[in-house]
Amino acid sequence: MISANPIYGTSHVKRTRRSQKDMDSLLRSIRTVIDAEEYGITIRHLFYRLVSMAVIEKTEAAYKNLCAHLTTWRRSGEIPWDSFVDSTRWHIGNDRWSGIAEALDRTVETYRRDLWENQSTYLEVWVEKDAIAGIISGVANAFGIKTFVCRGNPSLTSLFNAGATFSNMIERGKDAKVLYFGDHDPSGATIDTRSAEILREDFNVVVDFERVAVTPRLIAEMNLPTRPVKATDNRAKNWVGGCVEVDAIPSVDLRRLLENRIHEHIEPVAWHQLQTIETEERRTIREMAEHFKKEAGK
């Protein structure tokens, strides 16, 4: 049985304002997490990392205070602005170019062959929440794999659309598989299994869901801090052990876990053949871009 970490317990001690020493310690802890990141992370992910380090409490008030402190420290220059990403907001609109040469330059940068075309498996990565989407999608995209953010239990509409994609791939002779990242708690534990059930029963599509994180085995191997199950969770009755948010896992470990799983599904010979073709096609596009640049300069 996984024991609960006492730092998540309910405290009856009256909270006091942090001293300057406490604030300096918090800032050092934040910098430790940020400095270990190769890319930016979400503030919510930072919050869960600090909770797992027993630096702050897991309460909404603590999260709001963290946001306020980060605002102050970023404006003062003590924390770089580009330390964080926000995957929940984006611009809508088409890209525009000064001419064909610029468009081709951009194509050289973004052109990707479907390296899974000759593979026996069709892979997608699904994550429970936005907080880790940016971390996971970076690795997935590098392998040409799409990432789907469930935001809790996926809607029937999103599952219908996913089922159509999976069905198409199955008809092409591929095995459909999802690598899933979600919380280890009574509610989070059912998202992947329930999604697979709906795809099978409502849309007649059989998809293999593999939970990469969080699992009981991973909790033990990584010594992840647990919290007690929420008494208000109506699925908590038969739950054994503690709970762990996927956000508590360091970004570098999340990326490593995903990359290792992806490699398990790649047939290397076919993969490298298409990589060679992709390189040659990108070279052809680059030559076309250079041609149009010369024509424009005449």
Per residue of the chain (298 residues), give pLDDT as tens: 333 343 333 334 344 567 888 899 999 999 999 998 877 888 888 998 898 888 998 888 999 999 999 999 999 999 999 888 876 666 677 788 888 888 888 888 889 999 999 999 999 999 999 888 888 999 999 999 999 999 999 999 999 999 999 999 999 999 999 999 999 999 899 999 999 999 999 999 999 999 999 999 999 999 988 888 877 777 777 788 889 999 889 899 999 999 999 999 999 999 999 999 999 999 999 999 888 888 777 4
Same domain, 243 and 158: yes
DSSP state of 77: T
- Tell if the pTM clears 0.85, that is, is over it: no
Same domain, 140 and 244: yes
Same domain, 127 and 243: yes
> Considering the domain boundaries, does residue 9 fall inside one?
no
> Considering the domain boundaries, does residue 114 fall inside one?
no
> Considering the domain boundaries, does residue 271 fall inside one?
no
pLDDT of res. 226: 86
Same domain, 145 and 225: yes
> Considering the domain boundaries, does residue 217 fall inside one?
yes
CATH code for the domain in which residue 168 is found: 3.40.1360.10
* Interior/surface letters 171-194, b for 16+ CB within 10 angstroms, e for the rest: eeebbbbbbbbbbbbbbbbebbee
> Considering the domain boundaries, does residue 64 fall inside one?
yes
Same domain, 147 and 247: yes
Separation between Cα atoms, residue 69 and residue 63, nearest integer Å: 10
Positive or negative, the CA dihedral 262, 267, 269, 270 is negative
pLDDT of res. 16: 53
Instruction: Give the number of domains in the chain.
Output: 2
Query: Among 146, 144, 120, which Cα is nearest to 133's?
Result: 146
Q: For residue 228, give its domain range.
A: 120-265
Positive or negative, the CA dihedral 243, 60, 222, 138 is positive
Same domain, 60 and 165: no
> Considering the domain boundaries, does residue 281 fall inside one?
no
Same domain, 49 and 148: no
* Local structure of 186: helix, strand or coil: coil
Contact 154, 197 (CB under 8 A): no
> Considering the domain boundaries, does residue 279 fall inside one?
no
> Considering the domain boundaries, does residue 198 fall inside one?
yes
Same domain, 128 and 197: yes
Same domain, 129 and 248: yes
Same domain, 24 and 76: yes
Same domain, 73 and 143: no
Same domain, 28 and 125: no
